[in-house]
Amino acid sequence: MPALNSKEGIVMMIVSAIIIGIVGFAFGPGFINSFKDNGASSFVSSVNSQEKLYSSTHDGYADASTLTSTANGAPLVEVPKGYTLNVAASDTAFCAAVKSDSGRTFWTHGNSSKSFDSQPSAADAGIACPAAA
């Protein structure tokens, strides 16, 4: 490392470290929020799967408190830290909303296995979807 033996090499290393720090600071929150949002989208899809599984053995769909209850052991759904869950459920339909702490909300409902980044209509979901959790 002969460059570090000179003043110019040391100055260049310090300038490079400062630039890397500034770039990391500027772009870091965006990348972190993107990961959180991808996680929320995946989590709402898992809620969809658990709702369909629940309805196969019960007369209807589960609300958020039923999905997260530990009354019978482990909950059907564990809400990860940084997310909130809100569910509208009836005997024939459900719509779930998961909000990431980045501020974005994702929805899913019983008439689809996809996640949506805008609130589905009651006509599409079969039930009025909850607002952002």
> Which CA distances in Å does 109 have to 7, 46, 60, 128, 132?
63, 11, 13, 10, 14
32: which 2 tokens?
């972190």
Task: Give yes or no for residue 17 having a pLDDT over 60.
Answer: no
Query: Could you please report the per-residue DSSP string of 56-104?
Result: HHSSS---HHHHH--TTSS-S--PPTTEEEEEEE-SS-EEEEEEETTS-
Quote the pLDDT of residue 101: 85
Question: In Å, how far from its chain's centre is CA 82?
Answer: 8
Mean of pLDDT values over 86-107: 94
pLDDT digits (tens, 9 = 90+) for 56-90: 999 999 999 999 999 888 899 999 998 999 999 99
Contacts (Cβ under 8 Å, ≥6 apart) of 98: 40, 43, 44, 47, 83, 84, 85, 86, 105, 106, 107, 133
Quote the pLDDT of residue 90: 96
Residue 55 to residue 62: CA distance in whole angstroms:
8
Secondary structure (3-state) at 42? helix
Quote the pLDDT of residue 9: 52
pLDDT interval class at 130 (50, 70, 90): very high
Task: Give yes or no for residue 91 having a pLDDT over 90.
Answer: yes
